[in-house]
Amino acid sequence: MSAFNSAALDLLPAILGVFLLASPCPAGSHDEEVVIAARDGRRLAGTLSVPATGSAPFPAAISLTGSGLHYRDGNRTPEHPYRPFREIAGALASKGIAMLRLDDRGIGGSTGDGNAATGDDVAEDARIAIAWLRSRKEIDPARIAVIGHSFGGEIAPMVAADDPRVAALVLMGAPAVSFRETMRYQHAYDISRDASIPAERRAAVLEQRMARQERNVAASTEKWRPWSQDRDPLPTARRVRCPVLILQGLTDRAVSPDEARTLDRVMREAGNRKVTLKLFENLNHHFNHDPVGATDRYDRLPSQALATVFLDTLSSWLARTLEVHPGPGPRGR
């Protein structure tokens, strides 16, 4: 393990990266474990994957995870096999794009109180990480994209809308409605597949569950819940001006596919003509092959791997949008 001494720290940019150790890499990349100085003495720990071939400076992407605390690969526990951002990092490396993925505040190597973080706090951490990326010699500061999944897809447009230097935005199963309405969709789906609830009782049961949802949010120690409960994502979406790729599985039972269509329409109506919508048959909220898509089935699927068509679509679009020009040569610094 290596560390910078205090004199060396004075020579670094205000947004500081500290390299700790090498880790196993996605295919086609070199990985560096990094620590980024955040506000109030906190640190954000993560992995920077840089293409193993090609010439620096490389375009790059940063990933934002879904709701709740996640490790850098998008996994909720150290052992969980669902690691979407690790897979995406490998796909991007093969296209000549670097990727920074971070442990959420308060989990893994990142410090702070993750439960106390609102969406605004998550956006602040993302901005700090982007500033750090722009300070790296092997990264092109003009070609940095933001990738957000689920709740991260609510935060990512906030970052892109406020930073005209963000070169591209990728939204994976992103919400277009408040958290309250997202939960209404989830409860309605669960009720519809519960044979023990008569059809004439379903509307009443839905309202009962929504009332319980209100109480749970009010009592929750996770501050992102009340932050998102009544927040409308569409005013922010209307302000995004960079190219946008909206990715949506059609068996998504966590966020309605209609929300992807709404985001596409609203962004275009607001004047952004660089919006691409891709809908995937038989892919769920995790972009796994899943013809049912129910959230309680995720861990029973034969595979937690991202669908190849999804990875190809995302990585190819970013390569075009970030104008990757592959060529031979060693990785530069």
Closest CA relative to residue 304, chosen from 9, 65, 95, 81 = 81
pLDDT tens digits, 255-285: 999 999 999 999 999 999 999 999 999 999 9
Encoded amino acid at 27, one letter: A
Q: How far apart are CA 53 and CA 225, in angstroms?
A: 42
pLDDT tens digits, 233-258: 999 999 999 999 999 999 999 999 99
pLDDT tens digits, 159-216: 999 999 999 999 999 999 999 999 999 999 999 989 999 999 999 999 999 999 999 9
Q: What pLDDT band is residue 16 in, cutting at 50, 70 and 90?
A: very low
Q: Which residue has the tokens 């892109």?
A: 160
- Domains of the chain in start order, with CATH, are 6-177+232-321 (3.40.50.1820), 180-224 (no CATH)
Q: What pLDDT band is residue 3 in, cutting at 50, 70 and 90?
A: very low
Q: What pLDDT band is residue 116 in, cutting at 50, 70 and 90?
A: very high
Closest CA relative to residue 250, chosen from 207, 285, 217 = 285
Residue 229 has pLDDT above 90, yes or no: yes
CA-based max dimension of the chain: 72
Amino acid 326: pLDDT: 56
Closest CA relative to residue 173, chosen from 282, 249, 111 = 249
Amino acid 275: pLDDT: 98
